[in-house]
Structure 1
Amino acid sequence: MIATRSLFELRLQVPQVHDLGETPLGRRRIAVVAGGEFQGERLRGTVVSAPGGDWMLQRPDGVTVLDVRILLRTDDGEHISMAYRGLRHGPAEVMARLAAGEVVDPTTYYFRMAPVFETSSAKYAWINKVVAIGTGRREPTGPIYSVEEVL
């Protein structure tokens, strides 16, 4: 059994997605992360509106591969870079409902991510040494993740 400890809940605002269409690798879409917030016991704050985005790839097998980079600003003014890769997939009818902007029960699809963090802040230097995982759900305004530190 893998033991974890909550880092934070992350809520991202994704108002716009640019669809590049079919590329040699699959359907490429780039989502603009326009802000958000994160809150946990050890750190909390906001997501800086720029730079930030998700270079999503919809593979031919129906799996969406996430490639995200965002900048977190803690409530005391420190900056933490957060990058993650992830996967989202599920039954075709569930994924179609998500794509249409519907709220869908997150237990009906797979949505996982593996973030890494980078900061120069002495106060938050501990996060540079953390292995983390997250589970997500997709809401109409953007994804919401529960991010956990692996102990």
Structure 2
Amino acid sequence: MHEKSPALEFATEIAVTIAEPLVIGEIGGGIREIIPIIGGTMRGPLLNGEVLPGGADWCLTRPDGVSEVWARYTLRTDDGVLISIINAGTCRANAHGDFEGQTAPQFEVADGPYAFLREARFVGKLLTDAGGTLARVTLYRVPTL
């Protein structure tokens, strides 16, 4: 007999503003781009604040059309706490030219009100616009089993 699986808990939506990619080119196994992160916001029941400029996504687009994303950037909560996030995952272009995918974020944060981020597990849904200026990552906390 299987128990009902617990539902994911909506944590926050991060809207990341991105700049024109820096195309490294074919590196063996795919095309490497570095996509600068220049700002953004986060809004949700667990995290609210801003995305600070200075991060980037080191994206590798494989020959099969799947892009491996590895983004590292800094968040500042509305109450002034700095949080480093590494958001890794995969995505693929949909019929509209937007990129859709999933991520598994990890957080680095000091002791305090957000220390729970270090031990909790999260999954993310990634959607970028076809124009390439905004990426939205909707994060959900995975409940403890």
- Which bracket does the TM-score occupy, shorter chain normalised? 0.7 to 0.9
TM-score by length of 1: 0.84
Structure with bigger strand share is 2
Q: Tell me the distance in 2 between the aligned counterparts of 1:5 and 1:46.
A: 21
User: Equivalent residue of 1:126, what SS?
Assistant: helix
- The Cα offsets for residues 48-98 of structure 1, whole Å up to 9 and x where unpaired, read as 112x0000001111110001101000011101111011111256xx3xx52
**Which residue of the partner structure matches residue 42 of structure 2?**
38
Structure with bigger helix share is 1
**2:3 pairs with 1:3:** no
Structure 2 residue corresponding to 1:129, chosen from 103, 106, 119: 119
Matched ranges for 1:2-151 at <5 A: 3-50=7-54, 52-90=55-93, 94=95, 97-98=96-97, 104=98, 110-139=100-129, 140=131, 141-151=133-143
Q: Tell me the distance in 2 between the aligned counterparts of 1:90 and 1:70.
A: 23
User: Equivalent residue of 1:34, what SS?
Assistant: strand
> CA 1:121/1:79 → structure 2, altered by over 3 Å: closer, same or farther?
farther
Contact 1:55–1:67 (8 Å) recurs in 2: yes
Q: Tell me the distance in 1 between the aligned counterparts of 2:88 and 2:112.
A: 26
Contact 2:100–2:128 (8 Å) recurs in 1: no
TM-score by length of 2: 0.88
After superposing on structure 2, the runs of 4+ consecutive aligned residues of structure 1 that deviate more than 2 Å are: none
Deviation at 1:121? 3.8
Contact 1:54–1:69 (8 Å) recurs in 2: yes
Please report the RMSD computed on the Cα atoms of aligned residues, expressed in angstroms: 1.5
Deviation at 1:15? 1.8
Deviation at 1:40? 1.0
Unaligned runs of 5+ in 2: none
User: Equivalent residue of 1:48, what SS?
Assistant: strand
Deviation at 1:2? 5.0
